[in-house]
A and B are shown apart, each in its own frame.
Chain A
C-alpha cells in the first residue's frame, strides 16, 4: 500500500507542477500586455511601461513564474489589481463559502444517491430501476442553472418557502444559514444524484454478478445477508473515486449557481477576476481550485487503498 500511495503522491505532485505552469500561462500570457489592458488604449506608452515595471510584469517570464511560485510557498498569493488587497484575503472568504455549500450538498446527496444506486441495482430492469436511472439521468444532464431557476421559481417565487438569495444576513445562526443555502444546495443535489447513483448502481451490479456472490448464495445464506456482507463492500469502491472528482466542480465550477443565487463563492470570484483581467487574483484562485481537486482525489486514493485489500496488502507468498 505504501508504494501505491507514494506513486499517487508523486503523480499528484507532477500534475500540480504542470497545473501551475498551465494556469500561469493561461492567465498571464494569453491576454497580452497587462498594464496596457489595465490602462486602456489611450494611455501613453510611458505610463504603461511604468505600471508594468511597478507590477513586475516587464521581467522575463520565468522570473515572473518563479516569483509567483515562491510567493505561494510563503503564503503570499500576490495582490489583487482590482481590489488592491492581498489575494489571500479575497480567496479566504470565497473558499469558505464554497466549502460550506459543497459540504451541505454532499451531506444531502451522497447517502441519497448511494441508496438510490443500490436499490436500482437490486431491482435491476424493473420499474423502480428504470425510474431511478432514467429519472436521475434526466435530472443530472439538465444544466445546473436551469435546475436552479426551476427551484427558484417553484420554491422561491410560487411557493415562497425559501429565500432566493443564498446570502444569510451576517451573524445568523447555523440553521438560518442552512435555510438560505438550501435552494442552491438542493440544485446541486439534483444535479449530482443521477451521476453518483449511476456509478453506485454499476458497481453494485458488477458485484452482484460476480462469482463470489454466487458462492455466497450457494452457501445457503439468506439474500439480505449476501447483500449486506458480500456485495456491498465491493460495490462502493468506484463511487469513492467519482465523488472525489466532483469536488473540483463543486468548489470552483459553480459560477452560474453563485451568480443566480448571489452567493460569493470561488466560481464568482474567478469570473469577476477574469472579466477584470485581474491576473494575480485569477491565477491564484484557479490554482487553489486545482489544488483542492488534487487533494480530494488523493484522499479518495487513500480511502480506496484502505478499503481494497488487493492494494492494502500486496500479493505475498
Chain B
C-alpha cells in the first residue's frame, strides 16, 4: 500500500495574539491518497486555511504547532530542515490561493516568474522558457509568447489565475492545494478555471486539497470531503454521499441553509443554525458544535464524541450521528406569502443610460435600460462584472446622475437624477442595504445612533418617539436590544447586516435595493438574513431590487429576474421562466456555469474568450462574440431590440423564442440521457 500523498495526524495549532495562545486547530486528522482530490469545507475561523499553510510550512510568525504530525509521502514534515522544506516546495508541493492578481509580482514579467519554477528544478534558462510556453498552452492561454512578455496587471483576472495555476503545476507536484481559487471571479470565468483544474488533475495525476466555503464547488471538484468546524473535523466521507446523506448536525444545518434545487421563498423558509460561530481559541468542552446543536444532550457537553464510522469509509463526530437528519429546524418552515400587488408600477426606468469618461474614452456603463418594479415584488438583478448592475443601483438611488434623456419615476412622479434634489418623501422611499457591512456602518457611531439618526432625518422623529421606534426596528430585525449601545466593530457580520437592514427600513421605504446583502457573510448566517429580508418584505409590502451573483439565492427570493450583460438588459421575466427556459443564450450559459450540489444534469456550455471591456463593446449584439448560439451576420450588424417574446417575458435576441425553446429542450434531453447511462 503506497503512502498517502499527505497525512495529517491530530494536528493542533494555536496563534499567539497579544500574549494569549488561541487554539485554531484542535486536533485535525485526514489523509489524501495519491491522485485523489479532497475537499475541506468550513466557514470563517474553522481553520481550513491554517491547515493549508501548515502543510506548506508557511505559518505566520505568531503561530505554534502544539502537537500532531504532517506526513508527505510518508516523511515527517515537521522534523525537516529548512533546506529540505524548500526542496519540497520547489518540487512536490504547490499552492494556489484567492486573488491571483496579488499573487504575481507586479514588477516582473509573467515569463520569468513562470520560468523561475523550472529554474528551481535545475532546468537551463532556454529550456525553461520553452517549457514555460508549453505550460501556458496547457492552461489554455492562446498566445503564450505574448503573455509571457506581459506584466501581470495587463492580464484579466481569469488569465492571471491560469498563470498561477501554470506556475503551480509546472513542477508536476504530488500535492496541489487550492484555497478559494475562484472566489471573486465571475461565474463564467470560474467555471472555465474549475474545468481546467479538473482536466489538468486527470492529466498529471496530482493529489488535490481543495479548500472552499462553497459546498457546490466542492461537490463538483472533489471525491472526498471533510467538514471542519471550530478547528475540528466533524464529518468526512465521499463528497456526493456526504452532501446527499449528511450524518452530522452541522453538515445537516449547512445544507439546509443553502437554497437548493430551485426551491423558492413561498415554498419554504431556509433553515438556519442558531447561535454564533465560536471565537478564535474559545473554550469548548465536549463536542465543539454542542452550543448550537438542536440534538444536543447532556453527554454532548461532557464528552467529546470520537469519529464514529458510519459506513463506506465515512465518519462523523457526533454521538447521535444516526439521527443527524432529524435535527429540528431552527427557523419556521413557512413564511407568510406576500400578495404581489398588481397595479401601477412603483418604480419606472425608461431609456436609462450612463456614460463615464475614462482615459479620454467613453465607457457606456448603462445603455437604454427600461425596467419597472411593481409594488410588493422582488426583482432579481443578475450579471457579471461589467454588466452595469452596480451602476444601475447607483442611478436608481440618485448617487450617480444618469445621462440626459433618462427617465426615472417613483409612483408616477419624476425622480431627480441626484439624490440631493429629490423630495424627502422620495428619499426615504428608496433605500439600500449594502454588500459590505463593515464599510456600510460608521465605525465610530453606536447602533442606537445609526438607526436613530436615520429616523430623525427621514421621518423627522425626535426624543422618546425616536427611541421607541429604534427599539421596534431592532426587534423587527431580531437585534438584541442590549446591544444597541455597541459600536459596529464589536458585532459579527450578521449582526452588522441586521443593523444595516434596520437603518434601511427606518423610513418606511417602498423600495429597498439589496446589493449582494449576503455575499460577505458566512453560509450559516446568510440564511438567517435572507429569511429576515423575506419576512420584512411580506410584512411591509416592500419591493426589492435584489442584486446577487449567487443564482441559487436569486432564484429563491425573486419574483421576476432581469439579466444584464455589458450595460444592457438581455432578458427580463418571471423567475421560473428565466430559470426554466426558454431563456436567452447568455442566461443559458450563466446557468450552466454555476455548480450545484445536485450534480450535473446539464451540459456545460463553454463561453469562449473573456468578457469584453465596456469601453470597447462588440458591434451589433454585444454578446455575439461569445454566443454559443451565434446565428450569423445579423448578430454582428444589428443589435436586437428588447422585445416581448412571450407575455411578461422580454428578451434581446435574434433567435425566435420558439426556436430557442426547441434547441434548449433538445440540449437538455441530450444531457439527461448522458447522466442516466
Contacts and interface: CB of A to CB of B under 8 A. Distances in A.
Complex A–B touching at CB under 8 A = yes
Interface of A: 3, 210-212, 214-222, 229-230, 233-234, 307-310, 313-317
Highest count of chain A CB atoms <10 Å: which of B58, B93, B116: B116
B106 A218 contact: no
B104 A219 contact: no
B156 interface: yes
B103 A211 contact: yes
A218 B154 contact: no
B89 A317 contact: no
6 contacts: A210-B102, A216-B105, A218-B56, A219-B89, A219-B116, A309-B151
Interface string B93-117: 1110101001111111000000011
A233 to B, nearest CB: 5
B95 A309 contact: no
Contacts of B359: 3, 314
A258 B106 CA distance: 44
B154 A220 contact: no
B106 A234 contact: yes
Interface of B: 56, 58, 86-91, 93-95, 97, 99, 102-108, 116-117, 120, 150-151, 153-156, 164, 167, 359, 610, 613
A309 to B, nearest CB: 4
A309 B116 contact: no
A315 B89 contact: no
A278 B87 CA distance: 72
A310 B151 CA distance: 8
Nearest to A307: B107
A152 to B, nearest CB: 44
B152 to A, nearest CB: 9
A241 to B, nearest CB: 16
B105 A234 contact: yes
Chain A binding site: helix, strand, loop or mixed by DSSP?
A: helix
Contacts of B99: 211
Contacts of A218: 56, 58, 89, 93-95
A217 B58 CA distance: 9
B511 to A, nearest CB: 36
A316 B156 CA distance: 9
A233 B105 CA distance: 10
B116 A315 contact: no
Contacts of A210: 102
Highest count of chain B CB atoms <10 Å: which of A212, A220, A221, A308: A220
Contact of A317 (B87, B90, B154, B164): B154
A201 to B, nearest CB: 17
A315 B154 contact: yes
B91 A220 contact: yes
Contacts of B156: 317
Contacts of A316: 150, 154
Contacts of B151: 309-310, 313
A310 B105 contact: no
A220 B89 contact: yes
B79 to A, nearest CB: 18
Contacts of B95: 218
Contacts of A222: 86
Contact of A221 (B102, B120, B154): B120
Contacts of A315: 153-154
A307 B91 CA distance: 32
Given A212-B102, A212-B106, A220 B153 contact: no
Contacts of B116: 219, 221
A307 B95 CA distance: 29
A212 B90 CA distance: 16
Nearest to B164: A215
A317 B88 contact: no
A310 B89 CA distance: 29
B527 to A, nearest CB: 32
B58 A234 contact: no
A180 to B, nearest CB: 42
A249 to B, nearest CB: 30
Given A214-B58, A310-B153, A313-B154, 11 more contacts: A212-B106, A217-B89, A219-B117, A220-B87, A220-B91, A233-B107, A309-B107, A309-B153, A315-B153, A317-B155, A317-B156
A215 B106 contact: no
A216 B93 CA distance: 13
Contacts of B94: 218
B372 to A, nearest CB: 37
A220 B167 contact: no
Contact of B105 (A3, A230, A313): A230
A293 B153 CA distance: 32
Contact of B104 (A212, A221, A307, A310): A212
Highest count of chain A CB atoms <10 Å: which of B86, B88, B99, B107: B107
A215 B155 contact: no
Contact of B90 (A3, A220, A308, A313): A220
A222 to B, nearest CB: 7
B255 to A, nearest CB: 33
A209 to B, nearest CB: 10
Nearest to A219: B117
A236 B395 CA distance: 41
A310 B109 CA distance: 11
Contacts of B117: 219
Given A212-B102, A309-B106, A219 B153 contact: no
A308 B97 CA distance: 25
B58 A220 contact: no
The 7 closest A-B pairs by CB, nearest first: A220-B90, A220-B89, A211-B102, A212-B105, A309-B151, A220-B86, A316-B154
B541 to A, nearest CB: 46
Contacts of B105: 212, 215-216, 230, 234
Nearest to B101: A211
Contact of B107 (A217, A219, A308): A308
Contacts of A215: 103-105, 164, 167
Nearest to B86: A220
Contacts of B88: 220
B155 A219 contact: no
Contacts of B610: 317
A257 B56 CA distance: 55
Contacts of B91: 220
B164 to A, nearest CB: 8
A210 B105 CA distance: 9
A316 B146 CA distance: 12
Contacts of B104: 212, 215
B339 to A, nearest CB: 49
A229 B115 CA distance: 13
Contacts of A317: 154-156, 610, 613
A91 B52 CA distance: 65
A240 B323 CA distance: 66
Contacts of A234: 105-107
A230 B108 contact: yes
A3 B360 CA distance: 10
Given A219-B116, A219-B117, A310 B90 contact: no
A234 B151 CA distance: 14
A215 B103 CA distance: 6
A313 B152 CA distance: 11
Contacts of B154: 313, 315-317
A45 B105 CA distance: 73
A219 B90 CA distance: 5
A259 to B, nearest CB: 44
A229 B167 CA distance: 17
Highest count of chain B CB atoms <10 Å: which of A215, A219, A234: A219
A122 to B, nearest CB: 13
B613 to A, nearest CB: 8
A310 B117 CA distance: 24
A5 to B, nearest CB: 14
A219 B57 CA distance: 12
A307 B88 CA distance: 34
A214 B167 CA distance: 14
Contacts of A220: 86-91, 120
A233 B112 CA distance: 15
